[in-house]
Every structure is written in C-alpha cells, then in structure tokens.
Structure 1
Amino acid sequence: MSLRLAFMGTPGFAAASLAEIAGAGHEIAAVYTQPERPRGRGQASVKTPVHQLAGQLGLPVFTPESFRDEDVLAAFEALELDAACVVAYGQILPQRALDAPRLGCLNLHASLLPRWRGAAPIQRAIMAGDEITGVQIMQMEAGLDTGPVLMSETVPIHDTDTAGSLHDRLMVTGAQLWPRTLAALERGSLSARPQAEEGVTYARKITREEARIDWTRPAGEVADAIRGLSPFPGAWFELQAPRGPVRVKVHFAAPERGEGTPGEVLDERLLIACGRGAVRLTRLQREGRGVMEAEEFLRGTPVPPGLQLG
C-alpha cells in the first residue's frame, strides 16, 4: 500500500525531500509551492526548485498566493489526503489546513527542537558555536515549530562547515528521513515525543545590518559568525579604498593568536585583530566580483598591516 500525500515546499532543500518521497512510491496528489517570482538582473519569472522538479515528475502543481483563501482550503480538503509533507514551504498553514489530512501535516525542520525554532536554524546553529545539530520531522501544530517530534537524526557541525556546507548535508539527511517516517506512519508505529519545555531558542531571520562583522567580539565568535553567514547573506566589512569605502564579504575565517585594536590588520596575509585574539580571513569577495582565496584577493586589493577595517 501507499499513502495519498500532498507535498508543500519551495527551495532546493525541499526539492530533495520531494524526490525521496516520490521515489518511495507514495501517491503525491498535489504539490504546493510559492508562485513564480522575478529573479536576476532581467527580472524574469522563475519557477521554484520544487515546481521544476514536480514538473519533471509529472505531478500537479499549485501556487496559491495565500493558503487562507476559501477556495484554496476547500480544494485542499477535497484532495482527501492521508497526510501532507511540508518542507520550507514559506507560508503559515491555518488550523483548517492542518486538520484536513487524515493523519495531519508533517514538517521537516533543520535543527534539534526546541533549539532553533524559526526561519534560520542552520545559520544560527553555526553562529552560536553549536557542535551538533540535526533534522527532525514533527507533527505540525498552530505554534511555530512546537509540534511533537516523530523522527530525528543528529548531524555534527565541523570547524570547517559554513552554512552552505551544513545546509547541503542536512538537506540529504532530512530527505532520507522521509521514507522511514512515512513507512512507520503507514504501519501506525510512529511515536510522537513532545518537545522539552526548557532549552527553547528562536532562529530569527538574518538582517543585513547584523551581517556586518563586529571585530570587538572574541575571535572564535567572529569566525563562527562569518561561517554561519556564508554564502548568504555573507558577513562583511568596509575597506577604505582610493575611490571611497568598498564592501567586502568574508566567506571563511579561522581563529588564530594575535593582539591589536579590534579591526586592525596585523600582517600581510589578512590576520585581523578581534576583541580577544585574531582571525585569519581566507576566502573573500569584493563588491561586484566573485569569491576568491585570500592570496588571489590580495593581488588585486592590497590590505597592508596597520590598516583599520570598518
């Protein structure tokens, strides 16, 4: 037997889950994703990664602007689903939608709940210096990522991880969790574990101003912030250039020994003083250019010792 499902998701992280669920042989009655949006310099409308994959799989796709519209809810209820699988959909589902499938709505979240509920769990885990994270599938409730956990897998965070590399590992691990979860759901053998009441943290959305590097922080915290913001939106500083300040993004840095005024360049290879210790900048991106290793960056953009970074 197989379950009759709807899949709800938008980015590439969600598309990996859709591929695994489809490969497990379940009936996907509908795929919901965000509408096409203008992208790039030409502002051409682009389908989401989930929409593109669903098209390749021959699945029916729906792109409602709001899941609170009566027609949208009525059509969703009419699908007579066993369950809905939700991964980074981008819309809050009203209670009526959560109640429509026979077995409810299941959501894949990229953290070990209740730590890092919310929009940016991958970035926040690295930025906070966490050594471990994971993926969990939970039963959805009206609250923000508050539902009981059905299936869980832990993932270590390495010193070399960026938000990009950790995202890719969690995407694969999370996608592989779906067939096991749905098989157990079909057998009726899933057990729901309520989330702990202590240890709740919120992964609020990253702001552009927050991404500016604060050199007064200890070196380890500066390096974690840089890794957690790479590749997007990118931690940044201002470099004084002959034609005025230039914004430079840093995509990787590592703590080292060093002393100086926070933001001071300590040597010719981009060792920068922090509030305590220093960080070595190893991968950078000047405004309007591609990402470069430090050696290549310095050939085109001199950063001499004694310079103060903003």
Structure 2
Amino acid sequence: MVNIAFFGTPTFAVPTLDRLVTTGANVSVVVTQPDRRRGRGHRVAFSPVKKLALASDIPVLQPNSAKDSNFIAQLTDYAPDLGVVVAYGQLLPDSVLNAPRLGTINVHASLLPKYRGAAPIHRAVIAGERETGITVIRLVKRMDAGPMLARAVRPVRPDESSDEIEKDLAGIGADLLLSVIGDVSAGRCSEVPQDHSLATVAPRLSREDGSIDWNRPAEDVHNLVRGLHPWPHAFTYLHGDRHVILRTFVDIESSFPQHPPGTICVAHGDRLLVSCGSGTTIGIKELQTAGRRPLATRAFLSGRSIAIFSAFRAEPESP
C-alpha cells in the first residue's frame, strides 16, 4: 500500500483527505498551516484539515515554512511514497517535492493551464467562464506548471457563486485523485505537458477586489458578485454607507442608457434596478448594509426610502 503524506489546509481539501481515510489509504502524516487566532476573542483555531486529521488519529506537522530543515527531516522520517497536495497554502521546495519516492501530485481547481494560482475558482467566475474543473498535476518548482495526470470538466451555470462551485469541485477532485493514485502507484500514469503559452494566472483575492465598477456591463458586475461570494464580497457605497451586494441578475428587459452607470433607476417592491455600462441594467436580489444583516430587496426597500436616480458609488461620498 502506498504511504501518503497529505498537504492541505482549508475546507476545500477536507473531502479528499476524508475519501483517502474512508477508503483505507495509508495516510501516514498530514501537513497543514499553523494554527491561527480568529474571531473577536482571538481564540486559536485549527484548520479544517487538522481537525479531520486529529479525528482520524493521523500525525500532524505545521511548519511556519515548508523550507524549514527540521520540518523536512520530520517529513523524511515518515518515508512517504507519494505526496498529495490540495490547497496547502505554501509553495513547496524541491527538497519536499522530491522527498516521496513517487514524487508529489496536486489537485488544482481549474482547467490548467488556465488560472494558475491561489484563487482559480473565483477568478474563473469573475471572468464569466462557462466551464471549469479539476486538474491533477505532478508538482514542479514553477507554480501549477507541472505535467497533467488527469482532468475533469464541470459546467458553470450563469447564476452560480464561487462557494457553490467550490463545494462541488472538492468532491470531484477527491474522486479524480483516487483514480490517479492507483495509476501512479501501478506505474501506468501518463503525463501530458501543459501548453505554457496558454497559461493565465489567478492571484490571491483582496478586499479591494470587491469594489464594483458600475461602468462595466451588467454581466461583468453580476460575475463579480458571484465570483466574490462568500469572500471578500462585491461592495459599493450609497450616501456614505457601505453595501455588500450578495445576489444579482442581469435584467435584459430594461435599459436606462440616459442615466450614468450606478444610477438607481427602479426601487420599488422587490425591484432594485441599477444602470451599468454599455446601456445595460442589473437587478439586485439581496444586499447587506455594513453592520446589519443581509436582506432580500423587498425587505431592504421596505425599511428605508431610496431616492430614484440616486447613485451607487465606488467610494464613500465626502461629508
């Protein structure tokens, strides 16, 4: 049986580790990011992967740096045959990648070579991709650039948000990885080089990425809202208040080209329509004012008076 060292940290990696454990795979050690202090009480929080590893009686290593010589020595002591990486959160040096006898493989949430990087699902949704998927690759020093061992394609519906897609891809990745491990251990796995000329990047998200540019067409704004849910969220300002936009739709039946982008053109009942670039219109289904709970549009409008032709802005208005 192949002796596996598993590298992973967030919820996305949990289904893969769980599938390995429940199918009887020999996971000898789990490597995850150090514990962090979170929340108002700044309590120490374990990563989702660490919680599962402890519940499964698997030893856990948590180096601050994967380049640390003590960590590499500890990892080597477990004599792994294969390294498996799923959203670990650090680039691994050659000394770690090559420690396992069969090398190290990675489950990446995009159709490589597109969307190499830390936020492939979010960036694909923001870009309006109609399909995404999972690629299992052999890891090399260059980020997400190794040869491909297997791929699985998943369509993206126009109303799906990143968290919905991520949950689905986590399960797809777990299934795909199990088949790849069997092929790798049997020595029958074919490797397909990536076409680096087609590579695109998916850098880590920041809060600033959520600022809505109403000059963009409605479809682009809608994709931004979907892509940044549940974090960092798309946001805008109205009369100095920050509003997170949670759910939207592209309104193909309405157009208000005479009004500047960002103008609220309809605010009645469950209809909150905003003009966007290129004469397009977006409808807001759900939003959240800073410090308050999320509200569907009807509830939001019933609790306040929104002046028609007032405008959402990218920055708060000066007093």
Smaller-chain TM-score bracket: over 0.9
How far did residue 248 of structure 1 move?
0.6
Counterpart in the other structure of 2:98: 99
**Counterpart residue type for residue 309 of structure 2:** G
Kindly tell me: are residues 215 and 102 of structure 1, through their superposed partners in 2, closer, same or farther at Cα, counting changes over 3 Å? same
Matched, 1:306 2:309: yes
Question: Quick check: 1:258–1:273 contact (8 Å CA) kept in 2?
Answer: yes
Give the alignment partner of residue 283 of structure 2, picking from 262, 271, 280: 280
1:26-45 equivalence runs, <5 A: 26-45=25-44
What are the superposed Cα offsets for residues 171-207 of structure 1, whole Å, 9 maximum, x if unpaired? Answer: 1111221211111112212111111133211001222
- Within 1, Cα distance between the matches of 2:146 and 2:294? 40
**Counterpart residue type for residue 277 of structure 2:** G
Kindly report structure 1 stretches of 4+ aligned residues shifted beyond 6 Å: none
Counterpart in the other structure of 1:271: 273
- Within 2, Cα distance between the matches of 1:296 and 1:102? 59
Question: Quick check: 1:284–1:293 contact (8 Å CA) kept in 2?
Answer: yes
SS at match of 1:77: helix
Matched, 1:8 2:10: no
- Within 1, Cα distance between the matches of 2:232 and 2:110? 20
**Counterpart residue type for residue 206 of structure 1:** L
Matched, 1:238 2:237: yes
- Within 2, Cα distance between the matches of 1:92 and 1:29? 21
What are the superposed Cα offsets for residues 23-58 of structure 1, whole Å, 9 maximum, x if unpaired? Answer: 222111100111110111111001000000111111
- Within 1, Cα distance between the matches of 2:304 and 2:190? 57
How far did residue 62 of structure 1 move?
1.1
1:73-222 equivalence runs, <5 A: 73-222=72-221
- Within 2, Cα distance between the matches of 1:175 and 1:286? 38
Unaligned segments of structure 1, at least 5 residues:
none
How far did residue 78 of structure 1 move?
2.1
Same amino acid, percent of matched pairs:
35
Counterpart in the other structure of 2:292: 289
Question: Quick check: 1:270–1:303 contact (8 Å CA) kept in 2?
Answer: no
SS at match of 1:295: helix
Q: Which moved more, 1:266-275 or 1:281-290?
A: 281-290
Give the alignment partner of residue 255 of structure 1, picking from 247, 250, 255: 250
SS at match of 1:16: helix
Alignment RMSD: 1.1
Q: Number of matched residues? A: 305
SS at match of 1:66: coil
Unaligned segments of structure 2, at least 5 residues:
314-319
How far did residue 236 of structure 1 move?
0.2
SS at match of 2:214: coil
Question: Quick check: 1:33–1:50 contact (8 Å CA) kept in 2?
Answer: yes
**Counterpart residue type for residue 28 of structure 1:** V
How far did residue 120 of structure 1 move?
0.7
- Within 2, Cα distance between the matches of 1:299 and 1:153? 45
Please report the TM-score for the alignment, with normalisation by the length of structure 1: 0.96
SS at match of 1:203: coil
